[in-house]
Structure 1
Amino acid sequence: MALATRSLGQAGLLIVFARFGSPETLGNYSLALAVTAPIFVFCEFGLRTVYLTHRGNQPFSAYLHVRLATLSLAMILTAAIGSIFLPEMSGILLLVSLLRAADSMGELYSAPLQRHGELPTILRAFSTNAALTIGVGIAVLAAFHNLYYVIAALIAVSGATTLLLMKRPTDDLLPKMKSANAGARPRWEDHVSVVKAGLPTGISWGLLSLLSSIPQYFLAAYYSQVEVGYFAIILYVVVVVEIFLNAVSQSWIPRAKKLLADAPSFFVAVVKTAIVWTAAFVPLSAAVCAAAYVMLPIIFGSTYRIDWDEIIPLFGSLVVLPLVFFSAMALNVANSYVKALTTSIVAVALASAVAFLLIPGGGVPGALWVSFAALASRGVLSLAALAVGHRKRVPQLVP
């Protein structure tokens, strides 16, 4: 619920740009997100999930130190890429990088709050951030009609909510916690352990972010930022459902940890859970697609009406999401970070090949088929990796 509320601000911002800006403004912002997202997702090392699932005993301050260092690296990488490949967008990329850094710190501070049951605090912080993001975004864009000013104002919003509503409660909470070495000072070995656990996750999730960004790179190369913005609006339908499934899979972590001790039950439970949710998602995905067909032009404007050649791959992407989330979360719970990395690499290679074939002549519908192929391959490969681990862990009877 908290993560869904946090993402309302991001969805609301797209509405603000579509309604109060221009297709070019929305496209430039969407392309900046597509460029920065894989870099930041990689450099974040998935530390929030690692903190909640890792079986080590490292204090939160170790995670905090690693996050600050890797965010600095992300800023440097984004600046370098912008100056070399997109010099005309260097300013926007810098501002979006600062915004992502502020959001990233808030996301990490939510981890110990979630671990120790402070979900209302997280919900209050993310709700405030979402409301201010939409309100400030509308006010600044209406007043100045300038994308730079809007992002600069949102950096201030995100920084303030992170410091006041996330960092302060976390700083008050951790010294009171005795479990999990919560408030202790980190040793060098703690930082090394966090990096070792987070690096494969960061690469894997960075590649997963790249999966959704690859179609946007091809659209920008073969078409324009306008198509990038249009694709981003449709893709956000998938993102909204992903937010819901992310919350569900996060709540599944405690049960998955209990099942992990029993190898046969763990793999079977993952398969059954994916099957049940996939079956439920068939009618739900149809309903979401119907809602998107009706609501997107109402919410974003008549320019963003989708057609059947876009609805069909969108439906497929929604249906495969439960398999993607539960199999990937199972790999994280099992601390199978290298397997998660391998599946992501293969999925990116497959998605890139499909993009070369479909997007140059297929436009946005082709890009949506690329997204479906990326998600489907990721889910199947993750489940296959779990199956391999399952066979290795189940004792073989000797006749």
Structure 2
Amino acid sequence: MQQLKPLTLRRNFSWTFTGNLVYAASQWGMLVVLAKLGSPEMVGQFTLGLAVTAPVMMFTNLQLRSIQVTDAKGEYVFADYLGLRLIGTGLALLIIAGITMKAGYRWETSLVIFAIGLAKAFESISDIFYGLIQQHERMDKIAIALMIKGPLSLLLLGLGVSVTGSVVGGAIGLAIAWGLILCFWDLRNGRLILNNSSNGREESDLLVADAEPGNSQNSLYPRWHQKTLSKLVLLALPLGFVMMLISLNTNIPRYFIERYLGERELGIFAAISYLMVVGSMVVSALAESASPRLAKYYAEGNSTAFGTLMLKLVGVGLMLGVGGVVVSVVAGKPILTLLYKPEYADRADLFAWLMVGAGIGYVSSFLGYGMTAARYFRVQMPLFVLVTGSCAIACFWLIPTQGVQGAAIALIIGAIVQAVFSFAVIAYAIYKIQKHEKTKSPPYVS
């Protein structure tokens, strides 16, 4: 049996960054394909599909992967997480179908939304397997999945658009790609990790596992134990609301743009704003690699290690933000001309505003990962209610008068609110560690 040892933080970051780089480039390539083969309206349709499905999926996912990864005490097993994720994914598809039928969109737009929802359902199930792999600090397995998934998604989406001349064909191609990755890669790696984990267990534990095949960590099958799932739902529900609010905070400007300015302006805004992902993939790679270690430091009550690592992460976020703003100001117009079309380059000022918001968002994201690693779950719900409310109010006042630039300013306002209050929570978490270091009791707060 192949033995899988945890990788170092440096190697995990390298793998995760590479995987996210390939995947993000492929996702950006999808927008380029739609912009080059079609029009801003087609980009707008695709973006609207993502904007409608994302908050629903984010809520029903309950951010189980983060809870799974930071479950340093092993309170739940993989079968529990998988069982709850399957229930949530089925519920999400029903909600998305209901929205699609009731919202009054054009039939083509409705088909795009439903196809993207199906793709995200496959992605949601894969995410639980990634949580298992991340928990064992083998980010190389996830990175390889992303490096296959990204180009395959781009290929099938491009073929779908070329053959059908419609975004619908592209969205169906995307769903097929993500389904294939789940079936032929993610399930295989999940089984490998679970089998490897069982090798290190005591013989007596394995006998219990054989007697009760849904109750052990080496079970690849879902478990639906009502009492256990009820406890897990209560633990995860605040984070489900938080992730929905985070998604809404990102997508609320898109709803307002589509409502007041139309699908064309939405397409232009979405294409330019996607360049924020260049920094986000660095943030995601580093934060995902560091999360298990942050959780371990916090569980052990090591305030120095936890605070030092958080400081380094925030410093990276600041550097990325400053670099992005400089690039957008100095070379924004030629970059947009090269990547898209001249009509996008005419909005170089929007690019600069969006990068300001992105920089603040990078810092906020690192702080958010820190809160989750410390298992400060419930406090995140009122925090993001405030963040989302601030963004929505700003959109309501600014977009009708200032257009897409108003949407960028609204994102900046939301990011500032998030950064300030997230910093306060992290400061309190470190204070709690220092307090409990004296008593040697665990500082968990959920």
TM-score greater than 0.5 by the shorter chain:
yes
Q: Does 1:34 find its partner at 2:51?
A: yes
Identify the range of structure 1 (48-57 vs 22-31) with the bigger mean alpha-carbon deviation.
48-57
Q: Displacement, 1:394? A: 4.5
Query: Among 244, 255, 279, which residue is 1:206 paired with?
Result: 244
Q: Considering only aligned residues, what root-mean-square deviation do their CA atoms show, in Å?
A: 2.4
Q: Displacement, 1:229? A: 1.0
SS at the partner of 2:381? helix
Structure 1 Cα separation of the partners of residues 369 and 293 of structure 2: 12
Which residue matches 2:207?
A: none
Which residue matches 2:208?
A: none
Instruction: Tell me, yes or no, if the aligned pair for 1:270 and 1:326 is still in contact at 8 Å.
Output: no
Q: Does 1:218 find its partner at 2:256?
A: yes
Structure 2 stretches lacking a partner, 5+ long: 1-16, 202-215, 439-446
Structure 1 Cα separation of the partners of residues 188 and 307 of structure 2: 42
Which residue matches 2:323?
A: 284
Q: Does 1:358 find its partner at 2:376?
A: no
Structure 2 Cα separation of the partners of residues 176 and 282 of structure 1: 40
CA-to-partner distance for each residue in 1:172-214, whole Å, 9 max, x for gaps? Answer: 3313313795214744443234323322111111100100101
Structure 2 Cα separation of the partners of residues 230 and 131 of structure 1: 23
Task: Give the percent of matched residue pairs that are identical in Structure 1 and Structure 2.
Answer: 23
Instruction: Tell me, yes or no, if the aligned pair for 2:325 and 2:352 is still in contact at 8 Å.
Output: no
Query: Among 277, 293, 303, which residue is 1:239 paired with?
Result: 277
The amino acid that maps onto 1:68 is: L
CA 1:386/1:109 → structure 2, altered by over 3 Å: closer, same or farther?
Answer: same
Structure 2 Cα separation of the partners of residues 97 and 147 of structure 1: 14
Structure 2 Cα separation of the partners of residues 262 and 119 of structure 1: 25
CA 1:149/1:394 → structure 2, altered by over 3 Å: closer, same or farther?
Answer: same
CA 1:272/1:126 → structure 2, altered by over 3 Å: closer, same or farther?
Answer: closer
SS at the partner of 2:188? helix
Q: Displacement, 1:385? A: 2.3
Q: Displacement, 1:380? A: 1.3
Q: Displacement, 1:271? A: 6.2
Instruction: Tell me, yes or no, if the aligned pair for 2:100 and 2:113 is still in contact at 8 Å.
Output: yes
Which residue matches 1:16?
A: 33
Q: What is the TM-score of this pair, normalised by structure 2? A: 0.82
Identify the range of structure 1 (329-338 vs 249-258) with the bigger mean alpha-carbon deviation.
249-258
Structure 1 stretches lacking a partner, 5+ long: none
CA-to-partner distance for each residue in 1:86-109, whole Å, 9 max, x for gaps? Answer: 342322221111111112222222
Which residue matches 1:182?
A: 217
Identify the range of structure 1 (26-35 vs 300-309) with the bigger mean alpha-carbon deviation.
300-309
Aligned positions of 1:74-89 closer than 5 A? 74-88=92-106, 89=109
Instruction: Tell me, yes or no, if the aligned pair for 1:38 and 1:206 is still in contact at 8 Å.
Output: yes
Structure 1 or 2: larger helix share? 1
SS at the partner of 2:388? helix
Instruction: Tell me, yes or no, if the aligned pair for 1:43 and 1:71 is still in contact at 8 Å.
Output: yes
Identify the range of structure 1 (359-368 vs 251-260) with the bigger mean alpha-carbon deviation.
251-260
SS at the partner of 1:337? coil
CA-to-partner distance for each residue in 1:9-61, whole Å, 9 max, x for gaps? Answer: 32211111111112211111111111111111111111222211124431212
Structure 1 Cα separation of the partners of residues 69 and 237 of structure 2: 16
Aligned positions of 1:122-271 closer than 5 A? 122-178=142-198, 181-184=216-219, 186=223, 187-260=225-298, 261-262=300-301, 264-265=303-304, 268-269=307-308
Q: Does 1:329 find its partner at 2:369?
A: yes
Structure 2 Cα separation of the partners of residues 142 and 278 of structure 1: 39
Which residue matches 2:416?
A: 376
SS at the partner of 2:75? coil
Q: Does 1:72 find its partner at 2:90?
A: yes
Which residue matches 1:25?
A: 42
Runs of 4+ in 1 over 6 A off after TM superposition: none
CA 1:360/1:326 → structure 2, altered by over 3 Å: closer, same or farther?
Answer: same
SS at the partner of 2:234? helix
CA 1:99/1:183 → structure 2, altered by over 3 Å: closer, same or farther?
Answer: same
Identify the range of structure 1 (228-237 vs 379-388) with the bigger mean alpha-carbon deviation.
379-388
CA 1:165/1:85 → structure 2, altered by over 3 Å: closer, same or farther?
Answer: same
Q: What is the TM-score of this pair, normalised by structure 1? A: 0.91
Instruction: Tell me, yes or no, if the aligned pair for 2:391 and 2:410 is still in contact at 8 Å.
Output: yes
CA 1:154/1:144 → structure 2, altered by over 3 Å: closer, same or farther?
Answer: same
CA 1:275/1:95 → structure 2, altered by over 3 Å: closer, same or farther?
Answer: closer
The amino acid that maps onto 2:182 is: T
Q: Does 1:44 find its partner at 2:61?
A: yes
Instruction: Tell me, yes or no, if the aligned pair for 2:253 and 2:395 is still in contact at 8 Å.
Output: yes
Structure 2 Cα separation of the partners of residues 274 and 113 of structure 1: 22
SS at the partner of 1:320? helix
Instruction: Tell me, yes or no, if the aligned pair for 2:23 and 2:151 is still in contact at 8 Å.
Output: no
Q: Displacement, 1:256? A: 1.9
SS at the partner of 2:76? coil
